[in-house]
Amino acid sequence: MRKFNSRSASSFPLRRLLSGLLTGAIAIVFGDGLFRMIYGALGRSVGDPAWSYIQVLYGVLGVGSLAVGIGQGRASRQALPAPRSWGWWITQGIAVMAAGALFGFANLGRGLALVYSGLNQPELAAHWEKDAKVAIVGACLGAVLAGGLLWGSQRWDRQLRLQVVFAVMTYGAAFLCSAIAGNFLSLQQSLLGGSLLMLAILYFFCTIVALRTCFQLIYGQLIQRNFPDSQRRQSS
């Protein structure tokens, strides 16, 4: 008869609680910055001063979300954690660096603005928040730092944070594609609108897969914590 571990969910360790709060905070900050950029990009057209940055947003968000889908498709056929094959490293690296670039692009200027606002310098705060060069530097720093963090992503809590960020990113890509598809369909451009709508469905499926991976990671950790003997028998 299996002996249940006396440490129940009511005595969840403080470290796990803080890890969960950190994961939620990352998802909120990343999602807020990403969707602010998406809403700012909608309705813009060629000739707009920010059009080049909008194209970069489309490219980074699209490529990163596709990399998530490819990586999740490969990992879904394997046991967690994901295998460290070259294909997994490449797709995971592209997705992580894309997410880091989006995070840095959206939030470095805001962070500097908050610092200068705290120093009672509203003019400098407004300047740093709207400076495109700061956003580009933030994107580069975010991509490099995220790529470095990938090497420690096999820990379950870091992998969970990655999957949460991937879910937010792919959902943002699905939302953006569906919004643009609606505009094309309203203009009777069925081919472009239908293609983008199919792409939005693909990105939404990637979101579901990323969320499923999150639940698998949490469930596996709970099983390992409460039933360590059964976990060892499964791995043997």
Q: According to the model, what pLDDT value does residue 33 have?
A: 86
Number of domains in the chain: 1
The model's pLDDT over 80-112, given as tens digits with 9 standing for 90+, comes to: 444 567 777 788 888 888 998 898 888 776 666
Interatomic CA distance for residues 54 and 57, integer angstroms: 5
The answer as to whether 233 is a domain residue is no
62 found inside a domain? yes
Task: Report whether 2 contacts 75 (CB < 8 A).
Answer: no
Instruction: Give domain status of residue 235, yes or no.
Output: no
Reported as a single tens digit per residue, the pLDDT across 196-211 is: 999 999 999 989 988 8
Q: Is residue 7 part of a domain?
A: no
CA distance 74 to 78: 7
Q: Is residue 25 part of a domain?
A: yes
- Full residue range of the structural domain in which residue 105 is found: 18-41+49-221
**Is position 1 within any domain?**
no
- Cα 98 to Cα 146: distance, rounded to the nearest angstrom: 9
Residue 9 belongs to some domain of the structure: no
Q: How confident is the model at residue 2 (pLDDT cuts 50, 70, 90)?
A: very low
**For residue 113, which amino acid is it?**
A
